[in-house]
């Protein structure tokens, strides 16, 4: 049985392992098809592609940060043309705003007596993979590690709870694209996409992505819903499987592995081969990468 995991992160964004190491771990976990979906960047795809063993398939992808009514809505996107001008321009804007927002959070932390420095956060975000400098994505997990280092939190989770979680004392919001527009952009770039962890929309929506938004995203070309995700409980998975069936899109399942950050869990949830085939059938941007 082909094992397919459609959501994973490397150190090019906020994962703990290099792209090549992610492939190694995926092989060890018995995965045959893996999508590398770093936040707002495809900067890790080339080096992941170089690390593929024979018989392994890499799905080039990315997790696009979107926002709706004060909550983050994430879109796992696949097989789009990374040079599509509209998409490239959005991604640059998103990444650059991620950097200014992280800097703003450093200021807020310092003003509250937490001695983190911007230099150190940059170092953590870029450590060990300078070759991707342009494409690296800075995220709150990097900031969280800096907070832990200076002793203002016990661990990354605690740093989110105390300081930088949505609405926390050092939280700053950032630019993110409208979810419907994001689907349109990915489709215009020849890609396909699935709504990531719909029961985990951090922020004002209190977790769940509203159905009216999902319906509009489907109309715009959303092909799947990630009903199976490690952070969803049984009831949430069941609910979102039902929504996918009602709206006529496929169910995807993925680990959303971040290496050591989430605990290694590649393959913890998987996507059925038929669902994968149906999801990627309309893609015209770039082909699957086979080892
Ligand atoms: P950002 O993309 O900078 O907004 O940060 C969001 C990322 O932080 C997510 O992709 C997760 O990897 C991680 N994250 C979000 N909430 C938490 C949390 N409560 N504890 C640990 N990591 C989290
Ligand atoms: Mn992440
Ligand atoms: Mn996400
Ligand atoms: Mn993710």
Residue 129 Cβ < 6 Å to ligand 1 = no
Closest-CA residue, ligand 1 atom 14, reads: 141
Indicate the domain borders of the chain: 101-164
- Out of 140, 144, 175, mutate this one to test ligand 1's pocket (max ligand atoms within 8 Å of CB): namely 140
287 burial level (CB within 10 Å; 0-12, 13-18, 19+): exposed
3-36: pLDDT as tens digits: 999 999 999 999 999 999 999 999 999 999 999 9
Average pLDDT over residues 218-234: 98
The answer, yes or no, to whether any atom of ligand 1 lies below 6 A from the CB of 224, is: no
- The verdict on the CB of residue 163 being under 6 Å from ligand 1 is no
Strand pairing category for 57-68 and 289-290 = antiparallel
Q: Residue 253 — very low, low, confident or very high, per pLDDT cuts 50/70/90?
A: very high
Task: Tell me the Ramachandran region of residue 203: left when phi exceeds 0, alpha when psi lies from -120 to 50, beta otherwise.
Answer: left
What separation in angstroms does the CA of 119 have from each of 101, 103, 148?
14, 10, 15
Residues 6 or more apart whose Cβ sits within 8 Å of residue 274: none
Using an 8 Å Cβ cutoff, are 149 and 180 in contact? no
Q: Is 39 in the pocket of ligand 1 (CB under 6 A)?
A: yes
pTM, two decimal places: 0.96
Residue predicted with more confidence, 206 or 102: 102
**For domain 101-164, which CATH number applies: 2.60.40.10, 3.90.1170.50, 3.30.300.30, 1.10.150.650?**
1.10.150.650
Q: What are the angstrom distances between the C-alpha of 246 and each of 74, 87, 270?
A: 21, 30, 21
| Cα 165 to averaged position of ligand 2 atoms, centre (Å) | 13
Q: Is the pLDDT of residue 193 over 70?
A: yes
- C-beta of 63 in contact with ligand 1 (< 6 A): no
Question: 155 in ligand 1 pocket by Cβ < 6 Å?
Answer: no
Q: What pLDDT sits at residue 15?
A: 95
pLDDT at 133: 46
Q: Which ligand has the minimum distance to the alpha carbon of residue 254?
A: 4
> What is the mean predicted confidence (pLDDT) over 144-161?
97
Residues 291 and 20: beta-carbon distance below 8 Å: no
Structure tokens, 205: 């929506």
């Amino acid at each position: 049985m082909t094992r397919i995991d459609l959501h994973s992160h490397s150190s090019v964004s906020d994962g703990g392992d290099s792209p090549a190491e992610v492939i190694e771990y995926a092989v060890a976990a018995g995965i045959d098809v893996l999508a590398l979906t770093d936040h707002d960047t495809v900067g890790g795809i080339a080096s992941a592609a170089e690390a593929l063993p024979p018989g392994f398939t890499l799905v080039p992808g990315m997790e696009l940060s979107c926002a709706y009514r004060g909550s983050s809505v994430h879109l796992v996107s696949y097989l789009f043309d990374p040079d599509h001008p509209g998409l490239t321009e959005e991604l640059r804007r998103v990444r650059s705003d991620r950097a200014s927002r992280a800097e703003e959070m450093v200021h807020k932390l310092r003003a509250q007596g937490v001695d983190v420095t911007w230099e150190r956060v940059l170092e953590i975000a870029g450590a060990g993979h300078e070759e991707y400098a342009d494409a690296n994505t800075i995220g709150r997990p990097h900031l969280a590690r800096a907070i832990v280092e200076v002793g203002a939190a016990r661990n990354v989770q605690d740093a989110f709870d105390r300081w930088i979680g949505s609405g926390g004392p050092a939280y700053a919001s950032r630019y993110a694209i409208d979810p419907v527009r994001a689907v349109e952009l990915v489709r215009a770039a020849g890609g396909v996409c699935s709504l990531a962890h719909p029961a985990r929309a951090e922020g004002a929506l209190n977790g769940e992505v509203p159905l009216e938004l999902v319906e509009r995203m489907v109309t715009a070309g959303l092909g799947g819903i990630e009903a199976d995700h490690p952070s969803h409980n049984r009831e949430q998975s069941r609910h979102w499987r039902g929504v996918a069936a009602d709206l006529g899109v496929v169910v995807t399942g993925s680990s959303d592995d971040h290496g050591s950050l989430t605990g290694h869990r590649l393959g913890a949830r998987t996507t059925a081969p038929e669902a994968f085939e149906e999801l990627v059938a309309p893609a015209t941007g770039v082909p699957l990468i086979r080892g």
